[in-house]
């Protein structure tokens, strides 16, 4: 057992936190208001070496461990949840898929350029009528003369409007259900491929989301990522990784709320005292401290388990995601409450955090789906013997 980061790891995390605070956070309000992804942020993150930091050095990575990466993720999400979400969809969904399942050629072509922030990628699984129920997707890839012809519509695609490359999940043998889906790598300029207008959303407005349309998109066999008909299972593995990333998203937002509440409650006075002195306020803040701390512990553990291929990695990722996302919406709500009227206006950071937090309970598997996955696991593990 070792619950601590090494000194070197701590230095990396602190330096990164510093960068996020100085470079990324000052743009967060504008990114949200203008509904624009910040390429300046991406550039700064690339310069730091954060993009693809967990990857092997031959692809431009730094080979850092997953718990350290998640600690960095929390700092970025704390600074700007929108930027984090886009970068995370880029790295932890799109990039991780390529890194884990891509061919050498795909990896060499994409990963080093990603670490330099030259483009961002997106992953398309969800469709208008298939979200949690992934096997219900309708997008099809039909093989004709050694080529795949892909047709379908994807939605809620994070980075849809800004991505250059897409991972698309499609049915190659529909009758085989989960064992009949394949992942494809598709460039945005491929004929028949197009993206919709950015959606207007409740929160994370600086992370553009859209529909993606595939109309007789033709790709070679070399566009297949990993194995044919294994796409669903590959996606599930990537989601496990991605879920830990969403847990970090939520934890970053919750910690930002805590930060704001500490500041506000120790300055604001009511009835002759700083409001921090009232238990009605400071107990809420104590809870924020406790719950963000617990979430971090679950995240580190899940990240470690994933990195070391532990049999409970998937369950721990779901646990971290479920716990972190639900505590974050509660904390964000309490943070607005502590700020009173000020918490409700956009000038104050907590107003944005409140809107941003909600996504955590929905993206990459709703809370309800996490609970079903966990129950299945519990039935198996605790129901034995």
**Active centre residues (catalytic):** 364
Position 278 contacts other proteins (CB under 8 A)? yes
Q: For other proteins, which stretch binds (CB under 8 A), given 19-27, 235-243, 269-277, 334-342?
A: 269-277
Report residue 163: phi and psi, to 5°: -80, 150
CB of 340 to other proteins, least distance (A): 17
Q: Please count the other Cβ atoms lying within 10 Å of the Cβ belonging to residue 128.
A: 12
Distance CA 53, CA 15 (A): 14
β-partners of residue 193 are 214
DSSP 200: P
Which residue in the block uniquely carries the two structure tokens 């409450």?
337
Which of 204/258 has CB closer to other proteins? 258
For residue 300, state whether it binds other proteins (rule: CB under 8 A). Answer: yes
**What's the closest the beta carbon of residue 315 comes to other proteins, in angstroms?**
7
Q: Does 267 sit near other proteins (CB under 8 A)?
A: no
184 binds other proteins (CB under 8 A): no
End-to-end, the C-alpha distance of the chain in Å comes to: 28
Q: Which span sits near other proteins by CB under 8 A: 86-94, 97-105, 180-188, 375-383?
A: 375-383
| C-beta closer to other proteins: residue 94 or 264 | 264
Long-range contacts of 130-137 (CB under 8 A, 24+ apart): 131/156, 131/366, 132/365, 132/366, 132/368, 132/369, 134/169, 134/232, 134/235, 135/177, 135/178, 135/181, 135/232, 137/169, 137/170, 137/171, 137/181
- How far apart are the C-alpha atoms of 254 and 333, rounded to whole Å? 10
Q: State which of residues 48, 119, 213, 377 lies at the interface with other proteins (CB under 8 A).
A: 377
Q: Considering only residues 175, 279, 309, 347, which one is a binding residue for other proteins as defined by CB under 8 A?
A: 279
Q: Which residues bind other proteins (CB under 8 A)?
A: 1-5, 65, 67, 258, 262, 265-266, 273-274, 276-279, 282-283, 285-287, 289-290, 293-294, 297-298, 300-301, 304-305, 308, 315-316, 319, 322-323, 368, 370-379, 382-383
């Amino acid at each position: 057992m070792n619950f601590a980061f090494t000194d070197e790891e701590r230095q990396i995390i602190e330096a990164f936190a510093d960068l996020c605070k100085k470079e990324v956070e000052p743009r967060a309000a504008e990114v949200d208001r203008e509904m624009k992804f910040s390429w300046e942020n991406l550039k700064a993150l690339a310069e730091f070496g954060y993009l693809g930091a967990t990857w092997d050095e031959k692809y431009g990575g730094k080979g850092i461990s997953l718990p350290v990466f998640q600690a960095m993720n929390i700092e970025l999400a704390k600074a700007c949840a929108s930027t984090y979400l886009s970068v995370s969809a880029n790295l932890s969904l799109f990039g991780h898929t390529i890194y884990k399942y891509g061919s050498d050629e795909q990896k060499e072509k994409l990963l080093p350029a990603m670490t330099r922030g030259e483009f961002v990628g997106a992953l398309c699984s969800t469709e208008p009528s298939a979200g949690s129920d992934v096997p219900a997707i309708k997008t099809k890839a039909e093989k004709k003369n050694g080529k795949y012809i892909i047709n379908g519509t994807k939605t809620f695609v994070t980075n849809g409007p800004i991505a250059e490359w897409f991972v698309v999940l499609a049915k190659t043998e529909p009758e085989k259900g989960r064992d009949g889906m394949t992942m494809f790598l598709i460039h945005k300029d491929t004929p028949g491929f197009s993206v919709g207008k950015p959606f207007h959303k409740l929160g994370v407005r600086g992370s553009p989301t859209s529909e993606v349309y595939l109309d007789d998109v033709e790709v070679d066999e070399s566009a297949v990522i990993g194995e044919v008909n294994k796409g669903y299972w590959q996606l599930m593995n990537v989601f496990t990784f991605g879920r830990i990333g969403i847990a970090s998203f939520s934890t970053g937002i919750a910690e930002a709320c805590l930060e704001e509440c500490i500041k506000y409650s120790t300055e604001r006075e009511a009835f002759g005292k700083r409001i921090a002195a009232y238990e009605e306020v400071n107990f809420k803040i104590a809870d924020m401290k406790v719950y963000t701390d617990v979430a971090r512990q679950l995240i580190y553990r899940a990240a470690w388990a994933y990195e070391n291929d532990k049999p409970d990695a998937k369950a721990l990722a779901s646990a971290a995601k479920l716990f972190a996302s639900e505590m974050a919406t509660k904390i964000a709500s309490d943070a607005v409450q502590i700020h009173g009227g000020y918490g409700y206006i956009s000038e104050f950071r907590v107003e944005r955090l409140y809107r941003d937090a909600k996504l955590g309970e929905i993206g990459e598997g709703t809370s309800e789906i996490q609970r079903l996955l966990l129950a299945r696991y519990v039935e198996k593990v605790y129901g034995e013997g």
